[in-house]
Amino acid sequence: MGKAPAKRSLADKVRKTKTSTQIKNNPFEVKINRKKFEVLGRKAKHDVGLPGVSRSKANKKRKETLLKEYKQKNKSSKFIDRRFGEYDTKMAPEDKILQRFTMERQRVHDKKDVYNLNEEEELTHYGQSLAEMEKFNDAVNSDDESEEKGLLSAELTATHFGGGGGLLRKKASGEQEEDGNQRAKSRQELIEELIQKSKQEKRDRQVQREEAQELTEKLDQDWKNIQTLMVKKTPKADKQEDKPKLDEYDMMVRELGFEMKAQPSEKMKTPEELARVEREKLQKLEADRLRRMMGDEAEHSAHAQIHISADDLNDGFILNKNDKKTVSYQDGKWNIGEESEGVKDEQGDVGEEENLEAEEDGEEDEQEGDDEEDHDDDEGDEDDDEDDGHSDLDSEQESEDDERKQEDKASDGNSKSLSAEEMKAQQDAAKAELPYTFTAPESFNDLKDVLHGHTPDNQRLIVARIQKCNHPSLATGNKLKLQNFFGFLLEYVEELATRNPPELTVIDKLIPELYALCQMFPDAACRSMQNILRDAGHSMEEALEVKGHASFPDLVMLIYLKVTALLFPTSDFRHPVTSPAMLYISQALTKCPVRSLKDVTSGLVLCCLAVEYVALSKRFVPELVNFLLGALHLAVRDKASLGYSVVPPFRPSGKCSSLLVLSNSESYKDWSKKKLPLSATQNLDLKTDLDRDSHRLTCLATGLDLVKRCCLLYRDLASFKHIFQPIGTLLSKHLPAQALPEPLQELHRQILETISAAPVTRSPLVFEKKKPIPLRLFKPKIVEVVDDRRKRGNTREERENERLKHKYKKEFKGALREIRKDSRFLAAEKLNEVMSRDAERKRKVKELLGSLANQEGEWKALKRRKKK
Amino acid sequence: MAPAKRRNVSSAKAAKQRIKTAKIDLNDRVELILQSRKHANDVFDVLEGLQSEQEKDVVNAIDASSKLFCTLVERTELFRGKLPEEEEALKGGYSAEEKYSIFMRHRYHSCVEMLLEHLSSEAYGVRESALCSLMKFAAAVGQHPLEDLDWSEHYSFPRELIQTVVDRLLCKTTDNSLLISRFQEFLELEDVRYYVMSSVRASVATVMEKNKGAEMSLYQNNVFSLMSNISMPSKESDLSNFMVKQAAKHEDWKAAKLHEHKRAFERMWLGFLKYKLPSKMYKSVLVVLHDSILPHMSQPTLMIDFLTAAYEIGGAVSLLALNGLFILIHQHNLDYPDFYKKLYNLLEPSIFHVKYRARFFHLADIFLSSSHLPVYLVAAFAKRLARLALTAPPTALLIVLPFIYNLIRRHPSCRVLIHKPSTEDESLEDPYVMDEEDPAQCHALDSSLWEIMTLQKHYHPDVAKAAMLIRRPLSVQEDDIGEVLETTTYELMERDLKIQTKNIPLEFETAVQLLQGGGDALGQNFCLE
Q: What digits encode the pLDDT tens for the residues B128-165?
A: 787 788 777 777 777 676 665 554 445 666 677 777 77
For residue A556, the one-letter residue type is V
**A501 and A613 belong to one structural domain:** no
Write out the DSSP string of B378-400. HHHHHHHHHHHHTT--HHHHHHH
**B170 and B92 belong to one structural domain:** no
Residue A208 included in any domain: no
pLDDT higher than threshold 90 for residue B505: no
Measured distance CA(A510)–CA(A487) in Å, rounded: 13
Could A295 and B501 be called an inter-chain contact, meaning their C-beta atoms sit closer than 8 Å? no
Which residues, listed in sequence order, are joined to residue A762 by a DSSP beta bridge?
Answer: B428
Could A647 and B489 be called an inter-chain contact, meaning their C-beta atoms sit closer than 8 Å? no
**B344 and B482 belong to one structural domain:** yes
Give pTM, 2 decimals.
0.59
**A516 and A610 belong to one structural domain:** no
Residue B403 included in any domain: yes
3-state secondary structure of B262: helix
**A596 and A516 belong to one structural domain:** no
**A612 and A513 belong to one structural domain:** no
Measured distance CA(A482)–CA(B142) in Å, rounded: 80
Indicate the residue of B488, B525, B529 with minimum beta-carbon distance to A679: B529
Please give the pLDDT value at position A2. Answer: 43
Q: Which domain holds residue A641?
A: 592-757
Please give the pLDDT value at position A827. Answer: 94
Domain boundary among A738, A757, A776: A757
Residue B297 included in any domain: no
**B142 and B156 belong to one structural domain:** no
Residue A113 included in any domain: no
Q: A511 to chain B nearest CA, in Å?
A: 6
CA distances for A761 relative to A676, A861, B427, B452, angstroms? 39, 160, 5, 16
Measured distance CA(A223)–CA(A228) in Å, rounded: 9
User: CB under 8 Å to A21, separation ≥6 — which residues?
Assistant: none
**B177 and B142 belong to one structural domain:** no
Closest residue in A to B524 (Cα–Cα): A675
Phi, psi (degrees; rounded to nearest 5) at A32? -100, 125
Residues of A within 8 A of B357 (CB-CB) are none
Q: Which domain holds residue B37?
A: 21-148
Please give the pLDDT value at position A29. Answer: 83
At residue B319 the predicted structure's pLDDT band, cuts being 50, 70 and 90, is: confident
Residues of B within 8 A of A577 (CB-CB) are 504
Residues of A within 8 A of B473 (CB-CB) are 767
Indicate the residue of B453, B511, B529 with minimum beta-carbon distance to A511: B511
Could A522 and B528 be called an inter-chain contact, meaning their C-beta atoms sit closer than 8 Å? no
Name the domain count of chain A. 2
Residue B525 included in any domain: no
**B253 and B359 belong to one structural domain:** no
**B42 and B139 belong to one structural domain:** yes
Lowest-pLDDT choice from A117-121, A442-446, B265-269, B437-441? A117-121
Could A768 and B472 be called an inter-chain contact, meaning their C-beta atoms sit closer than 8 Å? yes
**A639 and A750 belong to one structural domain:** yes
Residue A645 included in any domain: yes
Query: CA gyration radius for chain A?
Result: 53
**B130 and B179 belong to one structural domain:** no
Residue A711 included in any domain: yes
Domain boundary among A520, A550, A579: A520
Q: A722 to chain B nearest CA, in Å?
A: 8
Tell me the average pLDDT across B482-487.
84
Residue A332 included in any domain: no
Ramachandran sector of residue A641 (left: φ over 0; alpha: ψ -120 to 50; beta: rest): left
Residue B68 included in any domain: yes
**B205 and B135 belong to one structural domain:** no
Residue B8 included in any domain: no
- For chain A, residues with pLDDT lower than 70 are 1-9, 109-124, 126-185, 230-246, 259-266, 296-434, 784-794
Q: Which residue has the higher pLDDT, B105 or A66?
A: A66
Could B418 and A648 be called an inter-chain contact, meaning their C-beta atoms sit closer than 8 Å? no
Domain boundary among A757, A790, A812: A757
Please give the pLDDT value at position A403. Answer: 45
**A608 and A741 belong to one structural domain:** yes
**B438 and B347 belong to one structural domain:** yes
**A607 and A741 belong to one structural domain:** yes
Interface confidence, given as ipTM, is 0.74
CB environment B297-335: b (16+ within 10 A), e (fewer): beebeebeebbbebbeeeebbbbbbbbbbbbbeeeeebe
**A511 and A610 belong to one structural domain:** no
Name the domain count of chain B. 3
Average pLDDT of chain B is: 77
Measured distance CA(B145)–CA(B157) in Å, rounded: 8
Which residues, listed in sequence order, are joined to residue A677 by a DSSP beta bridge?
Answer: B527
**B344 and B489 belong to one structural domain:** yes
Residue A666 included in any domain: yes
Residue A550 included in any domain: no
**B232 and B252 belong to one structural domain:** yes
Q: Supply the angle between the helices B258-273 and B217-228 in degrees, to the nearest 10.
A: 160
Q: Nearest Cα to B162, choosing from B83, B68, B226, B101?
A: B226
**A484 and A607 belong to one structural domain:** no
Closest residue in B to A561 (Cα–Cα): B514
At residue B60 the predicted structure's pLDDT band, cuts being 50, 70 and 90, is: confident
Residues of B within 8 A of A576 (CB-CB) are 496-497, 499, 501, 504
**A645 and A753 belong to one structural domain:** yes
Q: Which residue has the higher pLDDT, B514 or B77?
A: B514
CA distances for A573 relative to A378, B145, B456, B496, B511, angstroms? 46, 79, 12, 12, 21
Residue A715 included in any domain: yes
**B341 and B481 belong to one structural domain:** yes
3-state secondary structure of A571: coil
Burial of residue A233 (CB within 10 Å: 0-12, 13-18, 19+) is exposed
Measured distance CA(A807)–CA(B308) in Å, rounded: 91
Pick from A647, A650, A705 the residue to mutate for testing the B interface (most B CBs within 10 Å).
A647
